[in-house]
Structure 1
Amino acid sequence: MSRTTPILQRIGLALWLAFTSPWASAATLERGNGPEPSTLDAHRCQELACGNILRDLYEGLVTEDAGGRLVPGMAERWTVSADGRTWTFRLRPGLRWSNGEALDAPQVVASFRRAFAPATAAPFAELFDALANAREVQAGRMPPERLGVSAPDARTVVFRLTRSAPLPALLTLPIAFPVYLPAVERHGAQHTRPGTLVSNGAYRLAAWTPQANVLLERNPHFHAARAVRIGRVRFHVTEDAAAELQRFAAGDLHITETVPPQPLPALRARFGGQLRISPYVGAFWLGFNLTRPPLRDAPALREALSLAIDRDLLVRHVTGFGERPAYGLVPPLPGYVPARTVWATRTQAERVARARSLYRRAGYSAANPLTIELRYNTSTPHRRLALAVAAMWRDTLGVRVRLRNEEWKVFVGNRRQRAITQVFRGGWIGDVADPRNFLAAFGSDGPLNWTGYDDAGFRERLAKADAARSEAARNAWLRAAEQRLLNAHAVVPLYFYTSKHLVKPQVRGFEANPLDRHASRWMWLEGE
């Protein structure tokens, strides 16, 4: 045994790493993160608040660099068969969990089986519908062992697909992160707590103070630990964007999750280069609950409500950060011509006239106004937008709107259950830069189909896109599916996102990228 081993055991591996890493820093990166994360179970995460943290705690077979480019993660390389349906990933040697135990291919496979097991109820499982037997396993019609993923040896993971799909990009999602199953078996739902959560990424969980912050510390067992320059990261709960801005201005935060709606010239004058605005693959829309009155079987009413909203006014005076009005669900993507509502090119005055006609046709009037509830999660931008939409519906049609503001976890649960929602804050941030990603949820009765949209014609078009033999044909069928969804007025497209953050000058390595993902492992604090 080496004479240094007892020394390392006494001072601790993490401290040893701090002394040996050429860039090691004891500084803490303070990050705003929006609402309280609903979970730190990677397989059950369905929102940005947990996704941001999980990308620091875990690493998938494939990951992304600071600019959003796909790079090797747990896998050092991968290959794909000529037909695009068999992918083979070769793991790095010597991978370890944050507790020091070895991490191998059979554990990766077992984690995937857990992700797709019915009891897990993973909300993003439907994004992997190209994975062989994934739907059958999640529905309980096949055992998890029939899932199309296997480990022929300790360092090889093989995926079998039923059609071509952008698998490497999908493997960057939290559902594809390896979960340490002994902790799940031993602690159940509590495996996500400090002291029990075992991860494999650049950081490990140190503390979690509910409704306050989540603290991470550098993971000495991460395969690239010597290149991780920030010692600790604290993700703060910042549901109120205005309060988050104040904390940034006071020096409490290095990075904000967003920026509250304010006049852009004033923000630029105040913060200069600290204000970072860039294009973002995301769409904001309002959803209709199509499973219950008054919006079920009421396409004319739904169209009237959509027409009455002045999107140009919203992006100029309510959002105000370069967002573009949306008349479809899919944001601009390379090679894809998005669908649009049939009245997208009409003036707002023409839209209002049609809205009033459709409203009367649906049986409503000044004497018999529609009373509707608009539900949104706690957030200054969402509150401002809801107030603006309610005012437009009232002034244009005479609709009486009840605004319902809910804490994130409550809101997500109500939206998913479709029991009490009528109109709700929706939208989609791209998991991958693929138009199908914005449409897939509407093709099943899964947990992401918050509207309850159920249309065989839409599903047929998605299936034809999946079977297409060329990218052009695939995009054409996806556009046809998007157009059918828009013609049903299942949702109200409002605008396409921009990403907006405030970033302190000493933060280095923060790069704009289309999916707005910023893992802490790529950053450092100058002068710390």
Structure 2
Amino acid sequence: MSSLWKKMRGLVAATALVVSGMGLVALPAQAEKVLHRGNGAEPETLDPAKSSGVPESWLQYDLFDGLLVPDGKGNFIPGAAEKWDVSADGRVYTFHLRRNGKWSDGTPVTAQDWVYSWRRLVDPKTMADYAYFLWQVKNAQDITLGRKAPETMGVRAVDDYTFEVTLGAPTPYFLSMLHHHSTYAVSKANVEKFGAEFVKPGNLVTNGAYMLVESVPQSHIKMVKNPHHYDVANTKIDTVFFYPTENQEAELKRYRAGELHIAYEVPVAQMQWLRENLKSELHLAPYFGTYFYAPNMTKEPWKSNKDLRLALNLAIDRDIIVEKVNQRGEIPAYSFVPPDTTNYTQQLPDYAKWTQAQRDAKAKELVAKAGYGPGGKPLEIEVLYNTQENHRKVAIAIAAMWQQKLGAKVTLNNQEWKVFLNTRDEKKFKDITRHGWIGDYNDANNFLELLRGDIGKQNPSAFSDPQFDLLMAEANTTADTAKRAALLQQAERLMIEEVAVFPIHFYSSKHMVSPKLIGWTDNLQDLHPSRFLDLKP
């Protein structure tokens, strides 16, 4: 090959030829757009039925399309389903799937895949933390609890592109749930072919805007645009890299060096400097979630000593946590369900109106009443949290409060994310664990359901109260909005009275966002799929 031809071939590869009135004109080819995103912890798994954390969900919003999908602005729009019908009694939903919906291997996404996936989620053999998420569907709860076969679930494929769902009772918020990863379809053929290995790069097929090509532990996850996605023509970003980085200082350094377009979180120690120097790139916004501590109520003294649980709860100075420790715009929490929850009035205990000095005095009184402190048993507490600087600072501050006010001896135990999740969910922690819950849909039910006695691993403290469960069951079958709200509010008052958890603050989202990024919109659920983003040239 002559050197002249080599040069000409290189020029053709780097340009696009267009016809104008003056003949052929060479224009530069459009450069590949590559997005770099920080993503917190190493993902637990990419299996939609088995993951439970926010870092996994950010990945899954790019890889999968639910029946509905978030548009990045706080709305939910048609996804795998282009439209749907709801029966007059509100119990039967008929989803009309896109006929051009395909898996990343080019095979059609069918109603049979959805039937298979929803049965798989609630099947006790799957051992999914989120199995309860579809308990609104007819027979789903009985299936998870081993009372009925998965085939009895109220789902069926009317034909290849019509997925019908029958609920046990009208559920006003049902559609808003269907963007959540636990409700995603997986390819039946793909899972049956590879078994548990189906989530690995090279095996995994997905129906979202992107497909998985690399997953290197403690390094990165790489996705590229899915050529078979129905909206591929409008997807601007070609390649997305996600970087698991639990050290927030390291992540911020990468962001400031231009290696990241989005930082997953912001370190507390740098907050003031960022406010002063990178204010336009610092995004702090209300976030639909609650940060809390949970006592292990499978063990004593937490199982039966409500006074001791309340004492620890009262001794936490929320104002110090949000104003001095975090400094990121959070709101102190004394209830579990966040403010701005649709069709719900926030429930506050009387002590929310007390001064902190009054709460501290009551805490000391309760510790003595429980038989601990001076003249009683030594109060020894271990606090579990996942490895991250912000969680460490909060744990240190709360430990100091309990030691100074209540005479407790507090030890801290931090674990890497995957290990932490297992320890927490299996209730293997000794005393108290850090926890947080981000609302999957805007309804009080999404928070309060966690405290049901039959919910399984997702119950943060293993709290169990028959009256609470009855209230939740009645609320779930009540169509009247006002009556349903009253039942949910009564349930929350009960769990607050029983001190099922120690609410600390309501979240704010906190990211660094590059000025090169187009389309980022802060929203209450902090959902930002890469499909709706773009980069400046």
Distance in 2 between the 1:86 and 1:136 partners?
Answer: 19
Which one is further off, 163-172 or 209-218?
163-172
Q: Report the alpha carbon displacement of residue 514 of structure 1 after superposing the two structures with TM.
A: 0.9
2:473 corresponds in structure 1 to: 463
Where does 1:11-26 land on structure 2 (aligned, <5 Å)? 26=32
Tell me: CA distance 1:381–1:28, structure 2 relative to 1, closer, same or farther (3 Å). same
CA distance in 2, matches of 1:437, 1:112: 19
Shift of 1:153: 1.2
- Counterpart for residue 373 of structure 2: 365
Higher deviation after alignment, 341-350 or 399-408 = 341-350
TM-score in terms of structure 2 length? 0.92
Match of 2:446 in 1: 437
Residues 262 and 320 of structure 1 are in contact (CA less than 8 Å); yes or no, is this contact kept in structure 2?
no
Deviation digits for residues 156-180 of structure 1 (CA, Å, limit 9, x no counterpart): 1111011222222111111111111
The 5 Å alignment of 1:280-429 reads 280-332=287-339, 333-366=341-374, 368-429=377-438
Q: In structure 2, what is the equivalent of residue 74 of structure 1?
A: 80
The answer to whether the 8 Å contact 1:25/1:230 transfers is: no
Aligned to 2:6: none
8 Å contact 2:372–2:379 — kept in the other structure? yes
- Counterparts in 2 of 1:239 and 1:264: CA distance versus 1, 3 Å: closer
Shift of 1:270: 1.7
Letter in 2 for 1:462: M
Contact kept, 8 Å, 1:66 with 1:510, in 2: the verdict is yes
Structure 2 residue 154 is the aligned partner of structure 1 residue 148: yes
Q: Which amino acid aligns with 1:334?
A: T
Equivalent residue number for residue 187 of structure 2: 180
The whole-number CA distance in structure 1 between the counterparts of 2:114 and 2:30 is 30
Three-state SS of the structure 1 residue aligned to 2:351 is coil
Equivalent of 2:105 in 99, 102, 117: 99
Amino acid at match of 2:278: F
Q: Give 1:493-512 correspondences, 5 Å limit.
A: 493-512=503-522
Which whole-Å CA distance do the structure 2 matches of 1:510 and 1:402 have between them? 41
Asked if the contact 1:415–1:421 (Cα under 8 Å) also holds between the matched residues in 2, the reply is no
The CA deviation at 1:244 is 1.1
| One-letter amino acid of the structure 2 residue matched with residue 102 of structure 1 | P
Q: Determine if contact 1:194/1:206 at 8 Å carries over to the other structure.
A: yes
2:130 is aligned, of 124, 128, 131, to 124
What is the identity, as a one-letter code, of the residue corresponding to 1:357?
E
Percent identity, please: 39
Q: Which deviations, in whole Å up to 9, do the C-alpha atoms of 1:425-451 show, x marking residues without a partner?
A: 012100001111001011124120131
Report what 1:6 is aligned to: none
Q: Name the residue aligned to 2:46.
A: 40
Q: Report the equivalent of 2:22.
A: none
Cα 1:155–1:25 change in 2 (3 A) is: farther
Q: Secondary structure in 2 aligned to 1:447? A: helix
Question: Is the Cα contact below 8 Å between 2:170 and 2:479 reproduced in 1?
Answer: no
8 A contact 1:374–1:404 mirrored in 2: yes
> Aligned runs of 1:219-298 on 2, under 5 Å?
219-262=226-269, 264-298=271-305
> Cα offset for 1:476?
1.0
Post-superposition offset of 1:468: 2.4
Counterparts of 1:134 and 1:464, CA distance in 2: 17
SS in structure 2 at match of 1:338: coil
**1:184 counterpart SS class:** helix
**Cα shift at 1:82:** 2.0
Q: Secondary structure at the match of 2:95?
A: strand
CA displacement at 1:49 relative to structure 2? 1.1
Describe the shift of the 1:263–1:253 C-alpha distance in structure 2 as closer, same or farther (beyond 3 A): closer
Aligned-residue CA RMSD (Å): 1.7
| Alpha-carbon distance in structure 2 between the residues aligned to 1:523 and 1:153 | 35
Preserved CA contact (<8 Å) 1:42 1:175: yes
Q: Match of 2:457, SS? A: coil
Kindly provide the amino acid, as one letter, of the partner of residue 497 in structure 1: Y
Q: Distance in 2 between matches of 1:428 and 1:447?
A: 14
Partner AA of 1:69 in structure 2: N
Structure 1 distance, partners of 2:161, 2:153, is 19
Matched to 1:142, the amino acid is K
Gap regions ≥5 residues in structure 1: 1-14
- What CA deviation, in whole Å up to 9, does each residue of 1:134-173 have, x standing for no partner? 1122233222211111111111111101122222211111
Decide whether the 8 Å contact of 1:28 with 1:231 is kept in 2: yes
For the 8 Å contact 1:205–1:217, the answer to whether it is kept is yes
Q: Distance in 2 between matches of 1:310 and 1:420?
A: 24
CA offsets 1:77-122 (integer angstroms, 9 cap, x no match) = 1121122111111111121110011121122212212222221122
Residues 1:59 and 2:65 are matched in the alignment: yes
In the TM superposition, 1:196-211 aligns within 5 A as 196-211=203-218
For 1:495 and 1:94, the matched residues in 2 are separated by 44
Tell me the TM-score normalised to structure 1 length. Answer: 0.94
1:64 Cα offset (Å): 1.4
Aligned-pair CA distance for 1:263: 6.3
**Displacement, 1:234?**
0.6
Q: Secondary structure at the match of 2:62?
A: helix
Residue 25 of structure 1: how far off its partner (Å): 5.3
Shift of residue 373, structure 1, vs aligned partner: 0.4
SS of the residue 2:126 aligns to: coil
SS at match of 1:42: coil
Match of 2:460 among 433, 444, 450: 450
Tell me the amino acid that sits aligned with residue 378 of structure 1.
Answer: T
* Preserved contact between residue 132 and residue 455 of structure 2 (Cα < 8 Å): no
Looking at structure 2, the residues matched to 146 and 240 of structure 1 have their Cα atoms a distance apart, in angstroms, of 46
Output the CA distance in 1 between the equivalents of 2:277 and 2:101: 46
Q: Distance in 2 between matches of 1:398 and 1:263?
A: 32
- Residue 215 in structure 1 maps to residue 225 in structure 2: no
The answer to whether the Cα contact below 8 Å between 2:109 and 2:187 also exists between their aligned partners in 1 is no
Equivalent position of 1:11 in the other structure: none
> Cα offset for 1:291?
1.0
Q: Does 1:486 align with 2:496?
A: yes
* Aligned-pair CA distance for 1:465: 1.4
Unmatched tracts of structure 2, length 5 or more: 1-12, 19-28
d(CA) in 2 for partners of 1:66, 1:107: 26
Q: Determine if contact 2:307/2:366 at 8 Å carries over to the other structure.
A: yes
Distance 2:138 2:31 in 1: 44
Three-state SS of the structure 2 residue aligned to 1:460 is helix
**Distance in 1 of aligned mates of 2:455 and 2:228:** 41
